[in-house]
Amino acid sequence: MLDIAYIRENPDKLREACKNKQLDSSVVDNVLAIDEKRRALIAGVQELRKKANQVADQVKVAVAQGGKPSVEAIEQGKAIKAQLKELEPELKVIEEEFTEAMLQVPNVPAIDVPVGPNESGNQITRIEGELPKFDFTPLAHQELMEKLNLLDTKKAVQIAGFRGYFLKGDGLLLERALLDYSLDVMIKHGFEPMSAPVLVKKEAMVGTGYFPWGNEDHYRTQDDTILAGTAEVALTAYHMGETLTEKDLPIKMVGISPCFRREVGSYGKDTQGIVRVHQFNKVEQVVYTIADEEVTREWHQKMIGYSEEILKGLGLSYQVLLMCTGDMGAGQRKKYDIETWFPAQSKYRETHSASYFNDFQSRRLNIRYQAQDGTLKHVYTLNNTVAASPRLLAAVVENYQQADGSIKVPEVLQSYLKKEVIR
């Protein structure tokens, strides 16, 4: 959510932001129209309350002096009360409309975000690591894992439906090693490890900006709770409604949780393997910073760096992309994706995503802090993937396969898995 004062002062900038993010720009005009009505009603109600107080004071004075209030004062008081009875419910309705309209307005992209309609406008900022060389044709991860009895999708589809999967034996243990290794790296960098609830309330989804835009992407329960697609939701909302102090910042959290996504709009895409699934496990990093975009941008780079440290530790080649306006979320101010090399596909595939929001999420969640000068400000928020499996697991399997059909365990994972090769 943006500050209404900013929206009033920058309507053209916001209309352009909507256009560049492939969103309906009429939301800007809508919120401004409702705001105008709201302000007029607020002014009217305040004026009537002021008059009501003045009349009440006149009545008190008359009574205190042993007299009676004038008929005029009594009639005036009744008239004001009737007007307030009519206007106050109207104001309550318009306030609700105003809040709903404010939630529809997206964040403005940072000045260095490229303008583009979709993924074609993303920019590769750098490529790291050497591509693996094979003297044989590398197998797709699912084929190799099924041969080694690490994966079963056939029975999973019978039980769970499309995109279901079982990880078995060393397949599961390798995933656990990946997640544990990633968690340990983040703990080393001073992040507080947390398990994150999978079921969250609508307020948390709205607060983090996944709703209203991502309504169709998530599963719901009969109790109207939502299965979160990332631990970002719970971690970012952790201090919802609280006022922190500047000395508390930055707050660094790393969460691990199962995640659920309906993958709406991806019908027929990535139907083979376990790159695009409905249920997966993820380690996610979230940071609150002070209300300073330069400080936030520094943290954005640090958080990307932690993910790169993990990929370098795993010996994987990857590329970092600066996402264009048409391929980023409504609430995001700037976003990077990291794509890791999949040799069987001969292409880089997304494995990480890092975004910052400034106060877009914290205004919706009402997370503030008292600055050193005594003023109250909203924290700035960031998040980034640390490790998402089974996608990262699939990348490891494809990159570390050997000619005899075995999988070499990356050196940094050998102490977790207690073996060097999976046969």
Predicted confidence at residue 268, as pLDDT, reads: 60
The pTM for the full model equals 0.93
| Cα atoms in the Cβ-side hemisphere of radius 13 Å centred on 88 | 10
Active site residue 163: no
How would you class 82 by CB atoms within 10 Å of its CB: exposed for 0-12, middle for 13-18, buried for 19 or more? exposed
Catalytic residue among 257, 307, 317, 353: 353
The tokens describing 366, both together, are 């009402």
Query: How far is Cα 103 from Cα 269, in angstroms, rounded to an integer?
Result: 31
Q: Which fold has domain 4-102?
A: Helix Hairpins (1.10.287)
Domain segments of the chain as ranges: 4-102, 119-422
Low-confidence stretches of the chain (pLDDT beneath 50): none
**406 with 423: CB under 8 angstroms?**
yes
Closest to 197 (Cα-Cα) out of 239, 238, 140: 238
State the catalytic residue, choosing from 261, 297, 333, 368. 261
**What does the alpha-carbon distance between residue 385 and residue 255 come to, in Å, rounded to a whole number?**
10
Catalytic residue among 246, 309, 350, 406: 350
Out of 3.30.70.240, 3.40.50.12780, 3.40.1260.10, 3.30.930.10, select the CATH number for domain 119-422.
3.30.930.10
pLDDT digit string (tens) for 333-369? 999 999 999 999 999 999 999 999 999 999 999 999 9
Strands (E), 151-294: 151-152, 166-167, 192-195, 199-200, 219-220, 226-227, 243-245, 251-260, 279-289
pLDDT at 267: 58
* Active-site residue, 261 included: yes
Residue 287, CA atoms < 13 Å, CB-side half-sphere = 29
Catalytic residue among 16, 176, 276, 309: 276
Is residue 353 part of the annotated active site? The answer reads yes
- Tokens 């969103």 locate to 23
Of the candidates 284, 333, 391, 398, the residue annotated as catalytic is 391
